[in-house]
Amino acid sequence: MELIWNERKCEEKVHQALDKAVDKCYTKKSFKNDKERIEFLFELYAEYISVS
């Protein structure tokens, strides 16, 4: 059971690091939660595809 908990903790840390890396690529803004981050990224994507 402890192994599963450690794996999940590790996955959570990796996910947070990935979020920070993606955020840094697209904005200086920090997001309150995943919902806010996803909304921002989809708005950015919508702008991108409407220009093409």
| pLDDT mean over 21-46 | 92
Predicted confidence at residue 18, as pLDDT, reads: 92
pLDDT score for 24: 93
> Which phi and psi (to 5°) does residue 29 adopt?
-70, 145
pLDDT band at residue 1 under the 50/70/90 scheme = low
Question: What digits encode the pLDDT tens for the residues 2-31?
Answer: 667 688 888 999 999 999 999 999 999 889
**Which tokens belong to 7?**
């794996």
What are the CA-CA distances from residue 23 to residues 3, 4, 49, 52 (Å)? 30, 28, 20, 23
